[in-house]
Structure 1
Amino acid sequence: MPAGIRVTVSFPRPPVCPIAVLSERANTTITNVSTSIAADGAPVTEFLIDADAVPDDYDRDPVFTYTDRHLYRVRHDAEAACPCVCLGAHDTPVNRYRARDGELQIVFHGREFDTVQAIVGELRAEFADIDIQRLVRAPTGTAAQDTAFVDRGQLTDRQLEVLTTAYEAGYFERPRGATAQALADDLGIAPSTFTEHLLAAQRKLLGDALETDGT
């Protein structure tokens, strides 16, 4: 049985996504999203947004209104090159949406790596600036495993340098092999700058390992 892969990708301000566009206009984060595919192949999406955040000139009426939130429903063009249409063509639903300040992040699952490659290839063809943020392979066999792919490319050159220097010097061991002051001196930076870069690098990598937003 294939283990399967969970994929997290982001799209900076995709103009074809009405949810991402609204998140930027409303200056808010939209995470409560569900979608289905209509008979003609067009995705139909419902999402919740804080009522106070909806722009006055938003030209859609809510399907349902809660105490402080509106539920909207949007229908996508079946021919549009949007992420959910691409995934639907591979019989792969979107598992999670997150739209914030115009950027769309989605999570989906692929049964096999070849399927993931095909989907990512099509998404790259339509969205040149797509960012593959995280790949997580499901456990296989009887061993208790939970494999996460850590993206070192999200670190700046300085953050990687500081993290590597600290690790090689035994900074994370007990007792420590070097002090922050000594390592900062070696790198020619202030101790506060050393600590800032180190914490930023740890936060980003732990975000991958723990599958949270480490930015």
Structure 2
Amino acid sequence: MSGRILAEVEVFGLRSCHVQPHADEEWSVSSVSRSVTSAAADPVIEEFTLKGGDGPPSVLQTDGLNVDHVFAYEQRHVFQLSRAAGQGCVCERIEAAGCVVHEFTADTESLVVTFLVDDVPTLREIVADLQSEGEAVKLRRLLEDTPTEADRPVVLDRAKLTSRQREVLARAHEMGYFEHPRDATAGDVADALDISTSTFTEHLAAAQRKLLDDLLDSC
């Protein structure tokens, strides 16, 4: 089973997800489970867990779907909904490529999914497909299976980054921009750097692209 890749992908501006809209400023989605039968006419049953708030969360009735509160434990609330299959959501697109979603989290801005993929070409196809489901897709983490060299590190060439790009990355990391849910928005980090939000996102995208080139070349 060597050579597989664990990918963590973030998708913004979702179009088909029925779970992510239930996240709000207090409550984030910490997990999702799905039950699907082989019959195409049967509905998909999804259960999602909200955590983070103080009182009971308010859950939307999206697109005419009934959402039921089914369980509560340790400041977490589990909800269940039933929907039609084949709606082109993030999880369905990943599963269509032969992969299984291992982790799912979401906040008001995006969702993050973690899954195993056989190789980089398949990962690129999945990312390209996800771009038709959301406004933007970001690779957050890639981890290669290395059974003969446990935890083999990937060397990243920092010299490829300009001093400004390193500064932007460092400040974004320091302020919790890469946490999920985020501790700071793009505007917060831009203000701390005394630059515009568009300039921040341009520097960040350029830096991430250079680092991802190193990561993908090493896979």
Q: What's the TM-score bracket when you normalise by the shorter of the two chains?
A: 0.5 to 0.7
- Cα gap change, 1:91/1:103 in structure 2, threshold over 3 Å: closer, same or farther? same
Distance 1:156 1:55 in 2: 45
Distance 1:21 1:56 in 2: 9
- What is the letter of the counterpart of residue 27 of structure 2? T
- What is the letter of the counterpart of residue 46 of structure 1? E
Select the residue among 51, 54, 57 that pairs with 2:57.
54
Deviations 1:48-68 (A, max 9, x none): 225825227655221234474
Contact kept, 8 Å, 1:12 with 1:103, in 2: the verdict is: yes
Secondary structure of the corresponding residue to residue 87 of structure 1 = helix
Q: TM-score, normalized by length of structure 1?
A: 0.62
Pairing of 1:172-183 with structure 2 (within 5 A): none
- What is the letter of the counterpart of residue 79 of structure 2? Y
- Cα gap change, 1:67/1:127 in structure 2, threshold over 3 Å: closer, same or farther? closer
Unaligned runs of 5+ in 2: 185-219
- Cα gap change, 1:97/1:149 in structure 2, threshold over 3 Å: closer, same or farther? farther
Match of 1:184 in 2: none
Match of 1:111 in 2: 118
Secondary structure of the corresponding residue to residue 132 of structure 2 = helix
Distance 1:151 1:86 in 2: 33
Deviates more, 1:108-117 or 1:95-104: 108-117
- What is the letter of the counterpart of residue 128 of structure 2? G
Distance 1:199 1:156 in 2: 12
Question: Percentage identity across aligned positions?
Answer: 24
Match of 1:20 in 2: 20
Q: CA deviation at 1:159?
A: 4.4
Unaligned runs of 5+ in 1: 163-196
- What is the letter of the counterpart of residue 150 of structure 2? A
- What is the letter of the counterpart of residue 15 of structure 1? R
Match of 2:195 in 1: none
Distance 2:162 2:55 in 1: 37
Match of 1:40 in 2: 39
Distance 1:108 1:46 in 2: 19
Q: CA deviation at 1:8?
A: 1.0
Distance 2:154 2:105 in 1: 20
Q: Which runs of 4+ in 1 moved over 3 A?
A: 40-44, 56-59, 65-69, 145-152, 201-204
Secondary structure of the corresponding residue to residue 47 of structure 1 = strand
* Structure with bigger gyration radius: 1
Match of 2:190 in 1: none
- What is the letter of the counterpart of residue 45 of structure 2? V
- What is the letter of the counterpart of residue 200 of structure 1? R
Q: CA deviation at 1:119?
A: 1.7
Match of 2:171 in 1: 200
Pairing of 1:116-131 with structure 2 (within 5 A): 116-131=123-138
Q: CA deviation at 1:7?
A: 0.9
Match of 1:91 in 2: 98
> Structure 1 residue 143 and structure 2 residue 149: aligned?
yes
Corresponding residue pairs, total: 170
Q: TM-score, normalized by length of structure 2?
A: 0.61
Distance 1:149 1:107 in 2: 22
Match of 1:166 in 2: none
Distance 2:92 2:157 in 1: 27
